[in-house]
Chain A
Amino acid sequence: MFRLAVKSVKHNPKRLVLTAVAVALGVALASATFTLTNALSGGFHQLFDEIYAGTDVIVEPAPTETEDDGDQFAAPDAVFTHADLAAVQAVDGVENAVGTIQVMGSVLPKDFEPTGDLMAAGGAPSQLFNWAGDPKLDQATLVEGSGPEADGQIVLDLDGAPRLGYEIGDMVSIATDTGVTELELVGLVRFGETNSLQGATLGYMTEADAATLAGSEDYQTISVVTADGVDKDQVASAISEVIPEGTRAITGEAKAAEQAEQLDDILQYVDIFAIAFALIALFVGSYIIVNTFRIIVTQRTREFGLLRAIGVSGRQLRTMILLEALVIAVVASTVGILLGYLGALGLSALVEALSGNIFGTVTLPWDALLWGYSLGALVTLVAALMPAIHASTISPMEALRESATESKKPLRMRNIVGGALTLLGVLAIVVGLYMDVAKPYVFVGAGAMVLVIGVTLLAAQVLVPLAYGLKAFLTRVFRVDGKLAANNIRREPRRSANTAAALMIGVMLLALVSTFTESLKSVVTDQFATSEADFFVLSTQGAIPPGAIDLLGSEDGVDFVTSTGVDQATYDGLGYSVASIDPATADLAYDYPNDPDFDGMDGGVFIDPVIQELGVEVGDQVALEGAEGSATLTVTGLYEREGDANFWVDEATGAELFGDYDILQAMVVLDDGVDPAAAEEQLTSALAEDFPLVVLSSPDQLAQFANQFIDLLLGVISAMLGAALIIAVLGVANTLLLSVTERTREIGLLRAVGVRRRSVRRMIRIESLVMAIFGTILGMILGVGLGVALVKALAEFGFTSVAIPWAWLGIYMVLAIIAGVVAAMSPARRAAKLDILQAIAFDG
């Protein structure tokens, strides 16, 4: 049976090529992502290993329960005093211990001009430390010049210095909270063995300079080198005895493993994201496989009848077809995995050329193989199942029949099932979006899938009257070519519907995402439009220095500056975000969704919907505990939007809880009658001296910036959906190719009675276009519908308006038409090239 299956695939490989390509593309997507995340993980493992290579034990603040995993490069608060360092040095088995001061700052490019542009000032972060002079502890080796032996000197890593335009002897500008400091570049260092810093800049200065820039003589971590032959774990636990509460001692190896593990957790989400898109692509591909196998089974009805006549059982026949599917799946998955691997190689080479090496060795990981083969085989087999079952019911008598067309089963059953599935899908989506259920996304996801299948089934019924309706139109415009095309679509409504549905899914997702992002854009634009602020103040790295706020507030023409700080506090045993604002001015700058206005805060606290759902009401007392202190506050108002911050307090309370909290955003309101353009210039130059990393943005600019970001998001998702769309277009081509083969005699006859090649080509093209446009329109209706439902369901997150992405829909339609023409190219050429005599004599 297996031999028969292989022979059958070998005998007529052409008709299976596109099927295999569809599977391969989906598998390639998964394989490429696995390869890339694996390489990325490898790169970071190597980085972490190098960071902690020379350090036997690290003494650091213990990770808190509510870990803020925002900025990986941010410096932790300094907690170790010089006395702590001395205590660690005195522990048995410690050979050397050095305190590390990390400076929160940024090395500016040599000819840095503050432009107010968010992108220009950003870029890769800087990592600045004090120089220990011990290569094992510094994790860096001096390769040129000298170390920072005297105050006022600095060394940079050998890639960072040229990137920023510095040479030895230059003065290096470093921007920190308090201003810009210049240090002389005296040497270059290499980080670890290969200086793989993932794009960051590394710099070292004297401990005195570091302490000045960091604003504290305390250390954030203490790095320990143990004596030879001592058990590091024992030393670590001995150190634990002498260090302050809330800190810990951990071996370098354990620390590297811990960090790598955290990163792998993040990369796992990337993998899941990619698998989701690969599944979408393969789901689309499964439509092609169903079509291909159905057509093949029809074409081989006589062959199967013959096999049945000579004693092959229906079950064996079914097994044979499934084996054929498996053969294709294995071949296609192999091709797909290799394609994905090559794609990943290409992409990593591209990234390396553009922004330096962030990948480790690019190898094909075993999970790429596992996922590739299992996804490919699963999808192919499931898709081939229905046609295989159909084949197993072929009676031996079919061998003797003349006709080779699919028996005309009525569509009733298909309609009933389709209708039921559509309803079920809509129901699940509605439940998921509007009912208060656990894991709503499961309902929405499963509902969307069921809905798609249901609509696919129903589409066959829609196509029949549609083709009737179109027939008159197509006949008028394209005469007989159009009439024949309309007839062909109607003749095999199942096949045409499945083909259109493949495209429908891709377009649906595109329309869904673009409806969502377009609505998001309109919400963002509205939000900024309602702001009274003339400028938003932002920092391109870290928090906004309080000095910058004071500076802006003291400038001429500025009415007031109001700032928002966000930090974490514990309430009822769990961590929540707390925003600190100035109640007197906040509402004057921005239209917050609060009730009443913040000036009614009166030293109390406002709570957002999350806290409201816990049963907290106005008038209740809440106890918050921050890093620096705790406060029991009366709830004096509500904040009606989810996702901004859970608690809103005034600045005094913020200081009580957190001390110097991080200011994330500030707004500047100018005096009446001051020209914003002139003010921007004045304020920017005022900031340039001491706070080059603080930029001003008008609400318009910021809205534009946010919209660009949203567009980027749409772009990334569209690109990920590209594979699914390519497969869908292949599906149209595949169906047409098989249908041309099936209609060889018919086309030959048309040619014999005088239809020109050009007309034959046009006929196929019209068929292709009708299927493509039909699928696209269905996809748009579904996608926009789902998108609107999603946006409405997210109303409490501030989605106040729904925007239909008309421009995108127009673009998708144009693309659909192009896709229709492209998909028709090869089938049309083949149909037009058919030799008339062979076509007439073709043994159908």
Chain B
Amino acid sequence: MTTTVTLAASMRGGTKDYGTGDAAVRALDGIDVDIAAAEFTAIMGPSGSGKSTLLHTLAGLDCLTAGDSWIGEQQISSLSEDKITQVRRDKIGFVFQAFNLIPSLSAKENITLPLDISGRDVDPAWFDEIIGILGLADRLTHLPAELSGGQQQRVAVARALVARPELIFADEPSGNLDSRSGAELLGFMRRAVKEFGQTIAMVTHDPSAASYSDRVLFLADGRIVDEMREPTADRVLDRMKQMGH
């Protein structure tokens, strides 16, 4: 490890409480995280460990109760709602578990949506390359309802990639897919990191999904309890078992 690693996102002392008084639940408990650029980071942990909250607060979808977070050099914990939206638009891509696409837009329109929103032009070469890799060329005019689950998720990945964001956040992207489609999708995501230097942070509870990443962060009770480099499915599974998963 050298100290010259560029950070795509980071958080210091991140705390997030839900509710107030007796009903208050602490989802994040003073957490420190760094997401290195051009790396595939997986965030794992049992249910209720705070992994989704971590992803949401890092991405600016939700704000921290205390602490700070950055996207690249940009501190976002102090930004206004409008500014955060702009950061999301320009610097971040998303892939959710389900319902990733706008039903009324075709696959192609869904993919170019982030560019359309920010009024940027589509780079045709880049678009074609992504479409080629994801195997969506003959599906572009279809509406989401006419696509299979795997295709829908690939369109979502294409949308996340096409704007060349600094960082892509993925929330259980393969959670609703059968194992073959899931493996395919995760393979594409890994290629995006390796071949194009894309940064991806992914939340998952599936050890085999985590094995596609470069680095796994283990969360429990709102804290990072461990981290693992070059994971395999078995090692991740063992570690999870120790955590009492």
Contact = CB atoms under 8 A, between A and B. Distances in A.
A484 B104 contact: yes
A357 interface: no
Interface string A736-761: 00000000011001111111111100
B184 to A, nearest CB: 22
A488 interface: yes
Contacts of B56: 837
Interface residues of B, number: 30
Given A837-B62, A840-B96, A754 B117 contact: yes
B178 to A, nearest CB: 16
B105 to A, nearest CB: 6
A558 to B, nearest CB: 77
A756 B82 contact: yes
Contacts of B113: 480, 750, 753
B86 interface: yes
Nearest to B53: A837
A758 B82 CA distance: 9
Contacts of B99: 745-746, 749, 840, 844
Interface in B78-137: 81-82, 85-86, 88-90, 92-94, 96, 99-105, 109, 113-114, 116-119
A836 interface: yes
Contact of B90 (A745, A750, A754): A754
Given A484-B105, A837-B62, A752 B117 contact: no
Interface in A458-510: 479-480, 483-484, 487-488, 490-491
Contact of A751 (B85, B86, B145): B85
Given A754-B117, A757-B82, A840-B96, A484 B102 contact: yes
Nearest to B81: A757
A487 B117 contact: no
Given A752-B61, A754-B89, A756-B82, A746 B103 contact: yes
Contacts of A837: 56, 61-62
Contacts of B100: 749
B229 to A, nearest CB: 30
Contact of A491 (B85, B89, B101, B103): B103
A405 interface: yes
B104 A754 contact: no
B116 A480 contact: yes
Contacts of B85: 751, 754-757
A750 B159 CA distance: 12
B81 A753 contact: no
Interface in A119-155: none
A760 to B, nearest CB: 10
B104 A488 contact: yes
Contacts of A746: 99, 102-103
Contacts of B81: 757
A490 B101 CA distance: 17
Nearest to B171: A840
A755 B81 CA distance: 11
Nearest to B93: A753
Nearest to A485: B104
Contacts of A480: 113, 116-117
Contact of B88 (A483, A752, A757, A759): A752
Contacts of B86: 754, 756
Given A487-B105, A836-B61, A753 B94 contact: yes
B60 to A, nearest CB: 9
Nearest to A759: B117
A217 to B, nearest CB: 89
Given A753-B89, A754-B89, A837-B62, A479 B102 contact: no
A487 B85 CA distance: 23
B164 to A, nearest CB: 14
A645 B102 CA distance: 70
A652 B193 CA distance: 111
4 closest cross-chain pairs (CB), A and B: A754-B89, A487-B104, A480-B116, A754-B88
27 contacts: A403-B145, A479-B117, A479-B119, A480-B113, A483-B105, A484-B102, A484-B105, A487-B104, A490-B104, A491-B104, A745-B99, A749-B99, A749-B100, A752-B61, A753-B93, A753-B114, A753-B159, A754-B85, A754-B90, A754-B114, A755-B85, A755-B89, A755-B117, A756-B89, A757-B82, A837-B56, A840-B61
Given A750-B102, A752-B96, A754-B118, 15 more contacts: A403-B145, A479-B117, A749-B101, A749-B102, A750-B113, A753-B114, A754-B85, A754-B88, A755-B85, A755-B89, A757-B82, A836-B61, A836-B62, A837-B56, A840-B96
